[in-house]
């Protein structure tokens, strides 16, 4: 393993780049050199003498725990943040604004999915581009290019003229990536850009990254998905507490080496073991009977047991996310209602969030920007607001019991290791992963009986993830139950009691015990049943439509989600086999 990197000093800043109305201007004058950079926010030292060096023609990962300064490093290289001291040179430029960075051939996809909901997909793709080369492109050409780009990235035909607000988070994430790729950047910086993508989508992103690298660009990625970064990166720089602590070359990039550098310790925090199955004989605490997520999808009979950690998997758009939001009362199913066990041992229907909360069901969204944080409120308020009313002392004035709230805050913030300055600071002052921890803390603080988590570890570092599994396991051992949707299938191993895999808006397969293996889950996600459920929706000999569903990645013709293109809907309505969508 390389020791702490020492870098040569960077190129001198070249000043602002010229604007151009032609294709993106790129003048390659050197590589990427960040030297001894310091950047503080008040008392927080986000970068504390950080150095980093990457070359054109490589995929280089920037790795480290939540709050160690990765996004800040990405932002200083993208002209979003000025440094307090030190030097930044990216292909000969020191951009002082995102616009300058873009003109220099540097494109960044930031961690938060920045999409204007009310604008169309095409407008979102060209957002901010109108002062440069795309100004001259007629709308028709933009629509054509947008459709091609989105098809390449998502493998489905999207209606690019539809408003982006109706799209799932993963597709919005693709828009932000497509926006950067349209520029054919010389340096592409991806800050947690695969965090909302499923496995197959991630492969498409990787193909794009390799293509760019092979054309001579540098691709810098920030990710907490260790298995992915091991596969894709040529080199990795590890940060800890705002400093670079080591550079790993391809063969050295292993989970053990990464964790050792990230934490400064050598032990691995997560040792997978098969999870005991006795809980599957315990009482049912939540169930559905003939519930249909989409009007045309297969009905779902489902049961969650007391003490169970149930994993939920599926390729994007297969209904798993809709299902968990139905269970949590966030949305209604096309048919049927989930039922939850009541204190008197009967079952009550969940018709909305209020009933879910009343019967002890809490929800954590992975889409923290849209469904989670209150951006204008403090860290404290964000973690505890749902408790304000509950802890109000009886009486006319209903005074909030601040001392008990403070105790809850301290407990949750400490056990989830939320890295923060003052608790009264706005939640947006926290790094992305730490914001997510606050949302998880909020759900725990409500002391629920059933926790429904929708890809909660998105952007959470590997150490904190292991802690989260520990807390959730302990929670389940206290007789509570957990529903855990993840787009990262490795998460289930050694943690979930059972995993159900969704296809076409319904449960397709199910795994328990030692069968909870990434390879098994993956095959089921792609339509090959390997578990106990064996709900085969396309047996050999079935017509081509079903075979296409199994072989391909398209959601089946049964119950296409509404954001797919008009063309897909027309094909479905005409009884088409849908295989033309790829
Ligand atoms: N605008 C800001 N105001 C105040 N503090 C900030 C701001 N931006 C970042 N910080 C702080 O700087 C530190 C580094 O944050 P940064 O977002 O760079 O971390 P990160 O390594 O990207 O974390 P994550 O993996 O959670 O995304 C954190 O402690 C964060 O709270």
Residue holding tokens 């299902």?
323
Checking if the pLDDT of 156 tops 90, the result is no
Domain edges within the chain: 32-112+182-263, 278-360+448-525, 544-581
Of 324, 261, 209, the closest CA to residue 461 belongs to: 261
Q: Residue 393: how many CA atoms within 13 Å on its side-chain side?
A: 7
Distance, in Å, from the CA atom of 505 to the CA atom of 299, rounded to the nearest integer, reads 9
Backbone angles phi, psi at 558, to 5 degrees: -70, 115
What is the per-residue pLDDT for 568? 41
Asked if residues 438 and 417 have their Cβ atoms less than 8 Å apart, the reply is no
Query: In whole angstroms, what is the distance from residue 244 CA to residue 266 CA?
Result: 18
Tokens representing 452 are 């429904």
pLDDT tens digits along 59-117:
999 998 888 999 999 999 999 999 999 999 999 999 999 889 988 999 999 877 778 88
What's residue 66's pLDDT?
81
Residue 469 has pLDDT above 50, yes or no: yes
Going from the C-alpha of 456 to that of each of 260, 271, 286, 387, 448, the distances in angstroms are: 24, 20, 20, 20, 16
The whole-number pLDDT of residue 258 equals 85
Residue among 34, 42, 46 whose CB has most ligand 1 atoms within 8 A, to mutate: 46
CA-419 nearest atom, ligand 1: 29
With cut-offs at 50, 70 and 90, classify the pLDDT of residue 203: confident
Atom of ligand 1 nearest to the CA of 68: 21
pLDDT in tens, 543-558: 333 333 333 323 333 3
Cα 69 to averaged position of ligand 1 atoms, centre (Å): 6
Residue 517 CB contacts under 8 Å (≥ 6 apart), including other chains = 493, 511
Question: What's residue 536's pLDDT?
Answer: 34
User: Which residues touch 107 (CB under 8 Å, ≥6 apart)?
Assistant: 101, 179, 180, 181, 183, 185, 187, 188, 189
Give the distance between the most distant pair of CA atoms in the chain.
72
Ligand 1: which of 42, 67, 240 to mutate, most ligand atoms within 8 Å of CB? 67
Label residue 234 by pLDDT band (50, 70, 90): very high
Which residue, judged by its Cα, is nearest atom 8 of ligand 1? 429
What is the rounded distance in angstroms from the CA atom of residue 527 to the CA atom of residue 453?
Answer: 24
State percent of the chain over pLDDT 90. 35
CA dihedral 93, 130, 217, 259 (to 10 degrees): 80
CA dist 170 and 485 (Å) reads: 14
| Angular region, 304: left φ>0, alpha ψ -120 to 50, beta rest | beta
How does 222-259 read in b/e, with b if 16+ C-beta sit within 10 Å?
bbbbbebbbebbbbbbbbbbbbbbbbbeeeebeeebbb
Q: 475 C-alpha to center of ligand 1: Å?
A: 29
Mean pLDDT of the residues in the chain: 79
Q: Which fold has domain 32-112+182-263?
A: Rossmann fold (3.40.50)
Q: Whose CA is nearest to atom 17 of ligand 1?
A: 431
| Ligand 1 environment, Cβ below 6 A | 41, 44, 46, 64, 66-72, 111, 419, 429-434, 459, 461
Tell me if 485 sits within 8 A of 454, measured CB to CB.
yes
Residue with the larger pLDDT of the pair 269 and 58: 58
Give me the mean pLDDT over the 302-323 stretch. 91
Q: Give the count of beta carbons closer than 10 Å to the beta carbon of residue 270.
A: 18
Radius of gyration of the chain (CA): 24
User: Does the structure show a pLDDT above 80 at 312?
Assistant: yes
| Nearest protein CA to atom 6 of ligand 1, as residue | 429
Task: Return the pLDDT at 577.
Answer: 32
How far away, in angstroms, is 510 Cα from ligand 1 center? Answer: 39
Q: How far away, in angstroms, is 45 Cα from ligand 1 center?
A: 9
* Atom 24 in ligand 1: residue holding the nearest Cα: 66
Q: For residue 5, is pLDDT > 50? A: no
Q: Higher model confidence: residue 410 or residue 323?
A: 323
Q: What does the pLDDT read at residue 183?
A: 78
Is 320 within 8 Å of 521 (Cβ atoms)? Answer: no
pTM here?
Answer: 0.67
Indicate the top mutation candidate among 50, 64, 71 to test ligand 1's pocket, ranked by most ligand atoms within 8 A of CB: 71
Asked if pLDDT for residue 223 goes beyond 70, the answer is: yes
The C-alpha angle with vertex 234 and arms to 228 and 240, in degrees rounded to 5, equals 75
Query: What distance in angstroms lies between residue 33's CA and the mean position of ligand 1's atoms?
Result: 21
Question: Average pLDDT, stretch 18-32?
Answer: 43
Q: 528: which DSSP letter?
A: -
**How much distance in Å is there from the Cα of 81 to the middle of ligand 1?**
12
Q: Quick: pLDDT tens for 480-514.
A: 999 999 988 888 988 899 999 998 899 999 998 88
**CA 304 to ligand 1 center in whole angstroms:** 37
Nearest CA to ligand 1 atom 2: 429
Q: In terms of DSSP bridges, do strands 235-240 and 59-63 run parallel, antiparallel, or are they unpaired?
A: parallel
Q: For ligand 1, atom 19, name the residue with the nearest CA.
A: 67
CA of 261 to the centre of ligand 1 (A): 19
Distances, alpha carbon 449 to alpha carbons 38, 281, 283, 307, in Å: 45, 18, 13, 10
**Atom 1 in ligand 1: which residue has the minimum CA distance?**
429
Strand segments (E) across 371-529 = 450-454, 481-485, 498-503, 506-512
**What backbone torsions phi and psi does residue 326 show, to the nearest 5 degrees?**
-65, -45
The position carrying tokens 């307090």 is 84
Beta strands in 488-558, from DSSP E residues, in sequence order: 498-503, 506-512
Give the Cα separation of 115 and 396 in Å (integer): 44
d(CA 577, CA 582): 12
Other beta carbons less than 10 A from residue 398's beta carbon: 11
Q: Whose CA is nearest to atom 3 of ligand 1?
A: 429
Cα dihedral across residues 567, 568, 571, 577: positive or negative: positive
SS3 track for 43-54: CEEEEEEEEEEE
CA angle 393–394–396, rounded 5-degree value? 110
Nearest alpha-carbon partner for 39 in 90, 92, 102, 88: 88
Is the pLDDT at 479 greater than 60, yes or no? Answer: yes
Of 158, 159, 74, nearest to 112 by C-alpha is 74
Closest ligand 1 atom to 73 CA: 18
Instruction: Tell which wins on pLDDT, 348 or 406.
Output: 348
Neighbour tally for 199: CB within 10 Å: 20
CA of 419 to the centre of ligand 1 (A): 9
Strand partners, 362: 451
Distance in Å, CA 434 to ligand 1 centroid: 8
Task: Tell which wins on pLDDT, 164 or 4.
Answer: 164
CATH topology match: 32-112+182-263 vs 278-360+448-525: yes
Cα(512) to centroid of ligand 1, in Å?
A: 38
pLDDT value for 276? 63
Taking CA atoms only, the protein residue closest to ligand 1 atom 12 is 46
Q: What is the per-residue pLDDT for 389?
A: 63
Q: Which of 100-114, 251-265, 353-367, 393-407 has the lowest mean pLDDT?
A: 393-407
Q: Whose CA is nearest to atom 7 of ligand 1?
A: 429
Query: What is the model's pLDDT at position 188?
Result: 96
Top-tier CATH class for 278-360+448-525:
alpha beta
The token pair that represents 526 in the structure block = 């792609």
pLDDT digits (tens, 9 = 90+) for 382-437: 888 777 766 555 444 556 667 777 888 888 888 878 888 888 899 888 887 888 88
With the most atoms of ligand 1 within 8 angstroms of its CB, the residue from 109, 422, 431, 438 to mutate is: 431
Cα(231) to ligand 1 centroid in Å equals 26
Contact 435, 47 (CB under 8 A): no
Both tokens assigned to 173: 């994430």
Rounded to the nearest angstrom, the distance between the alpha carbon of 46 and the centre of ligand 1 is 6
Sheet hosting strand 85-90, strand order edge to edge: 44-54, 32-41, 85-90
From ligand 1's centre to the CA of 431, what distance in Å?
A: 4
Say how many CA atoms lie within 13 Å of 490 toward its Cβ: 12
């Amino acid at each position: 393993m390389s020791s702490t990197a020492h870098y040569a000093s960077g190129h001198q800043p070249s000043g602002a780049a010229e604007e151009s109305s032609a294709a993106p201007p790129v003048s390659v004058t050197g590589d990427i050199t960040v030297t001894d950079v310091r950047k503080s926010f008040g008392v927080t030292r986000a970068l504390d003498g950080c150095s980093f060096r990457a070359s054109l023609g490589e995929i280089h990962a920037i790795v480290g725990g939540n709050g160690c300064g990765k996004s800040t490093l990405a932002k200083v290289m993208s002209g979003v943040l000025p440094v307090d001291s030190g030097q930044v040179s990216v292909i000969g430029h020191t951009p002082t604004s995102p616009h300058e960075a873009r003109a220099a051939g540097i494109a960044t996809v930031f961690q938060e999915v920045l999409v204007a909901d009310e604008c169309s997909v095409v407008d979102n793709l060209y957002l901010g581009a109108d002062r440069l080369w795309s100004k001259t492109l007629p709308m028709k050409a933009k629509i054509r290019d947008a459709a091609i780009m989105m098809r390449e990235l998502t493998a489905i035909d999207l209606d690019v003229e539809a408003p982006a607000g109706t799209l799932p988070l993963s597709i919005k994430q693709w828009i932000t990536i497509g926006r950067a790729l349209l520029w054919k950047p010389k340096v592409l910086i991806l800050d947690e850009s695969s965090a909302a993508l499923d496995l197959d989508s991630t492969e498409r992103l990787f193909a794009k990254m390799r293509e760019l690298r092979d054309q001579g660009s540098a691709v810098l990625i920030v990710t907490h998905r260790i298995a992915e970064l091991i596969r894709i990166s040529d080199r990795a720089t590890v940060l800890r507490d705002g400093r670079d602590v080591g550079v790993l070359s391809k063969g050295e990039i292993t989970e053990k080496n990464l964790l050792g550098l990230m934490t400064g310790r050598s032990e691995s925090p997560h040792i997978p073991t098969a999870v005991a199955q006795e809980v599957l004989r315990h009482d049912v605490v939540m169930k559905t009977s003939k519930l249909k997520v989409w009007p045309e999808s297969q009905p779902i009979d489902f049961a969650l047991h007391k003490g169970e950690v149930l994993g939920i998997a599926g390729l994007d758009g297969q209904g798993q996310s809709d299902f968990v939001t139905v269970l949590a009362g966030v949305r209604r199913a096309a048919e049927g209602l989930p039922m939850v066990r009541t204190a008197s041992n009967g079952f009550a229907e969940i018709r909305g969030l209020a009933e879910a909360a009343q019967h002890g069901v809490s929800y954590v969204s992975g889409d923290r920007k849209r469904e989670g944080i209150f951006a204008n409120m403090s860290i404290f308020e964000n973690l505890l607001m749902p408790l304000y009313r509950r802890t109000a002392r009886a009486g006319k004035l209903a005074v909030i019991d601040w001392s008990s709230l403070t105790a809850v805050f301290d407990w949750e913030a400490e056990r989830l290791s939320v890295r923060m300055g003052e608790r009264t600071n706005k939640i947006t002052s926290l790094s992305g992963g730490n914001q997510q921890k606050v949302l998880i803390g909020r759900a725990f603080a409500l002391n629920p009986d059933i926790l429904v988590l929708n890809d909660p570890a998105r952007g959470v570092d590997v150490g904190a993830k292991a802690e989260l599994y520990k807390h959730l396991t302990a929670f389940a051992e206290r007789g509570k139950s957990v529903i855990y949707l993840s787009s990262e299938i490795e998460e289930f191993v050694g943690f979930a009691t059972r995993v159900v895999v969704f296809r076409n808006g319904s449960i397709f397969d199910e795994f328990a015990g030692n069968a909870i293996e990434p390879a098994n889950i993956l095959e089921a996600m792609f339509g090959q049943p390997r578990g106990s459920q064996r709900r085969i929706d396309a047996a050999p000999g079935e017509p081509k439509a079903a075979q296409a569903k199994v072989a391909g990645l398209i959601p089946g013709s049964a119950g296409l989600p509404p954001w797919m293109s008009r063309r897909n809907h027309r094909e479905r309505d005409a009884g088409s086999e849908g295989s033309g969508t790829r």
